[in-house]
Amino acid sequence: MNSKLIKATFDEMKSGYHISIGHPLWNEIIEHSEELIEYFSHLQLELEIKSDIGYCYFKTADSNDLIDLKRARRAVAILNILVLEIKNLAGDEELEGFLLGRNTFPLESLELHNTGRFSKALKQLGVSDKEDVITHLKSSQSFGFHKIENGRIMLQKASDRIFKYTLLEIPKVSEMEEEE
Amino acid sequence: MSKVVGFNERLKRVSNHGIHLKWVIESEAKGHTPTVSQLISHIKATDIESNPDFILKQLVESEAIIQDANLIRINGPVTDFILWASDASNIMPGSRIEQIFSEVIAQINSIFEKLNQDGETLRQKGAYITERVRDINSKLLTLRGAAAENVRTVINSSSSLRLLKEDDRLKFIARVSKLWEEDIDPISGFRKVTSDLQIRRREARSILESMIYSGKSSHTIRRDSERILELLDMTWDRIAYSHDIMIKEVRPLYKLAQRMKSTISIVNAAENMINHIITQNKFTPNLDLSIPSLRVNQLFSDLSIDSFILTLGDVEDEAEYVIPPRASMEEIDTINPPIDIIELVKNEKFIPDAMEFVLGHPLTQSHTIQECAIAVYSRRGEIVHHFNRDSNKKLYSKENSDFDLLSRPIQIEVIV
């Protein structure tokens, strides 16, 4: 394993970016996965490689080093609302293609604030209009969950993390209401 | 001696009592072998005018069903016929196939035990063995029939399932999942080389081979053993072959169903998230996802981490270093002892330029500038270093040193 790979991996992912299959570094990371994991563990960085799904990322256990809560909430919520919007716009099959990273959608066609529930949730998170949605989608590309090319948005394999998190960690609203 | 039933009579009996035969088939498909009394109860319940014992006798005589002690089993070809006639052919589930194989192996073991039992003549043993052989043949025939029927059903149903995908996605997911998880996947389990059934099958093969060459076996037993061995292998191969075809046919559908299931879960979770944001808004993805920010712990500059990584990355293992023997012990006397900074500063409170102080100290005159620098910059509990980033750099030198040191002055405060 050469030091260039270590440096390139570190430079790419130190600020929370996720590398998905298809990235120029992906094959080399897979080839040297064990050595990289061992190496970064000494820097208190947990390199997680989901080779079966096709993405990798750094995790840190220290809450001082985490990304800002508001930014993380917006990134998670906007991607989830996007899923619902695409289901409404294009149907189940198109949505499946989008989740697999095959289909892309023009950013301009996404009117998340046109649906009452979506708009209410977005406003709770401080995303007030369509322009705000696009700004956040563009800035949250730095996490590597999605990318925008030629005005079209597509999901990367790493978005699996967001959807797993949503599925497993967000308490069921009905259950919470019962508890209250 | 049982009554011989001809073609017309057989057909008539299967036709008259097809409904009961179908019930037995459905019970077997659920992995349950009905008992005689259960069949009689079923006949009584569905046809109160009938004579259940008479119907049972008729079905056994015509060999449509086989009575094995207290259990009832349908002859393989009759199963195919009834399923064909009812236009509801079903896949024999993997668990049922495994169960029938287990029963065949148990029968082979019981034949072997009987053959080696003392106190009975070969003729007496022969009668028992013939009965078991007949049952084994029937079961293996059932399995071969099931193998063919399974393939036929899967191929027929896969095209209708593809159509169903467009009409009713949930039904498609349910049917394909059932087909894969209940009918196909269990077969993959027992086909593994290390599975319990495979181990018992290999043992049964050894038993059959030993019976073929055993001096205790009669000509008939040898011939039957040879035949069962051949049929056992053939049946296993047919099941394996049909299983491979079923996998090839259903795997793409199963993958599709899994993807659809995953999409449904994602959509449901997203709906829940919106409700959660609107009603609670308490989620903390930054903690759960643990995505790092720009710098870890703010401990290192990017440059120092890069340097650390690059330097360590190039380190290569070297051969073990062997310390050479010292030519003369006199050399030791010329080696400077390490400078103890605490000893030097014991009468001081604050030293504005520690490097200058150490370089000029009487105890360090024979030391090099490097040794003095180590003493100044070493962290000790009794002193505190102070350092002003805005101060100008200063050049330090020493007569006996090859190097000069360019650095900002460092102050030392003695706290003891």
Which of A1, A2, A3 has the highest number of chain B CBs within 10 A, making it the mutation to test binding with B? A3
Residue B321 lies in a domain: no
**A52 interface with B at CB cutoff 8 Å:** no
Among B250, B280, B308, give the residue marking a domain's end.
B250
This model's pTM is above 0.95: no
Contact status, residue A134 vs residue B241, Cβ threshold 8 Å:
no
**B303 interface with A at CB cutoff 8 Å:** no
CB nearest A170 (choices: B269, B287, B314): B269
Residue B12 lies in a domain: yes
Rounded to an integer, what is the distance from CA B359 to the centroid of its chain? Answer: 69
Looking at the structure, do residues B99 and B242 belong to the same domain, yes or no? Answer: yes
Residues of chain A with CATH 1.10.10.2250: 3-59
Looking at the structure, do residues B55 and B170 belong to the same domain, yes or no? Answer: no
**A1 interface with B at CB cutoff 8 Å:** yes
CB nearest A170 (choices: B260, B272, B290): B272
**A73 interface with B at CB cutoff 8 Å:** yes
Looking at the structure, do residues B215 and B83 belong to the same domain, yes or no? Answer: no
Looking at the structure, do residues B37 and B99 belong to the same domain, yes or no? Answer: no
Q: Do B292 and A6 touch (CB under 8 A)?
A: no
Among B27, B57, B88, give the residue marking a domain's end.
B88
- CATH classification at residue B43: 1.10.10
Class of the CATH domain delimited by A69-171: mainly alpha
**B272 interface with A at CB cutoff 8 Å:** yes
Does an H or E element contain B73, and which? strand B71-74
Which of B260, B262, B273, B283 has the highest number of chain A CBs within 10 A, making it the mutation to test binding with A? B273
Q: Give per-residue pLDDT as tens, B252-267.
A: 999 999 999 999 999 9
Tell me, what DSSP letter sits at residue B35?
B
Q: Give per-residue pLDDT as tens, B324-363.
A: 887 777 777 778 888 988 889 888 899 999 999 999 999 8
Q: How far is B289 from chain A (nearest CA, A)?
A: 8
- Nearest CA to A73 among B276, B275, B283? B283
**A88 interface with B at CB cutoff 8 Å:** no
Does an H or E element contain B411, and which? strand B410-414
Q: How far is A64 from chain B (nearest CA, A)?
A: 7
Among B61, B88, B115, give the residue marking a domain's end.
B88
Dist. CA B188–CA B242, nearest whole Å: 12
Dist. CA B180–CA B28, nearest whole Å: 19
The number of beta carbons lying within 10 Å of the beta carbon of residue B21 is 24
Looking at the structure, do residues B188 and B57 belong to the same domain, yes or no? Answer: no
Using a CB-CB cut-off of 8 Å, the residues of chain B touching A11 are 306
Six token digits for residue B366? 């024979």
Looking at the structure, do residues B377 and B410 belong to the same domain, yes or no? Answer: yes
Question: How many separate domains does chain B show?
Answer: 3
Dist. CA B48–CA B52, nearest whole Å: 9
Q: Do A124 and B278 touch (CB under 8 A)?
A: yes
Dist. CA B221–CA B114, nearest whole Å: 12
Dist. CA B286–CA A63, nearest whole Å: 8
Number of residue pairs across A and B with CB atoms under 8 Å?
166
pLDDT in tens, chain B (416 residues): 456 778 888 888 888 888 899 889 888 877 788 999 999 988 888 877 788 888 988 898 888 888 888 888 888 888 878 877 765 556 788 888 889 999 999 999 999 988 888 877 877 788 888 888 988 998 999 899 888 888 888 888 887 888 888 778 888 898 888 888 888 888 888 888 888 999 999 999 999 999 888 877 788 888 889 999 999 999 999 999 999 999 998 999 999 999 999 999 999 999 999 999 999 888 899 889 988 876 555 555 565 566 666 666 566 666 777 888 877 777 777 788 889 888 898 888 999 999 999 999 998 988 999 899 999 988 888 889 888 888 888 999 988 888 889 999 999 999 86
Task: Return the amino acid letter for A85.
Answer: E
Looking at the structure, do residues B12 and B41 belong to the same domain, yes or no? Answer: yes
Q: How much of chain A is in helix, strand and coil states, percent to nearest 5?
A: 60, 15, 30
Q: Do B266 and A45 touch (CB under 8 A)?
A: no
Looking at the structure, do residues B133 and B37 belong to the same domain, yes or no? Answer: no
Tell me, what DSSP letter sits at residue A126?
T
Q: How far is B377 from chain A (nearest CA, A)?
A: 25
Contact status, residue A17 vs residue A144, Cβ threshold 8 Å:
yes
- Nearest CA to B218 among B105, B372, B111, B64? B111
Q: How far is B252 from chain A (nearest CA, A)?
A: 15
Contact status, residue B146 vs residue B74, Cβ threshold 8 Å:
no
Please list the alpha-helical segments (H only) found in B71-195: 76-86, 94-115, 122-167, 169-178, 185-191
Classify A19 as helix, strand or coil: strand
A49: β partners: A56
Classify B410 as helix, strand or coil: strand
Dist. CA A49–CA A29, nearest whole Å: 9
Domain extent, residue B21, equals 1-88
Looking at the structure, do residues B63 and B115 belong to the same domain, yes or no? Answer: no
B394: β partners: B407
Q: How far is B254 from chain A (nearest CA, A)?
A: 15
Looking at the structure, do residues B103 and B54 belong to the same domain, yes or no? Answer: no
Residue B326 lies in a domain: no
Looking at the structure, do residues B199 and B100 belong to the same domain, yes or no? Answer: yes
Q: Do A62 and B260 touch (CB under 8 A)?
A: no
Helices (runs of H) and strands (runs of E) counted in chain A: 9, 6
Looking at the structure, do residues B128 and B237 belong to the same domain, yes or no? Answer: yes
Residue B268 lies in a domain: no
What are the strands of the beta sheet with B350-351, ordered from one edge?
B350-351, B410-414, B383-387
Class of the CATH domain delimited by A3-59: mainly alpha
Classify B55 as helix, strand or coil: helix
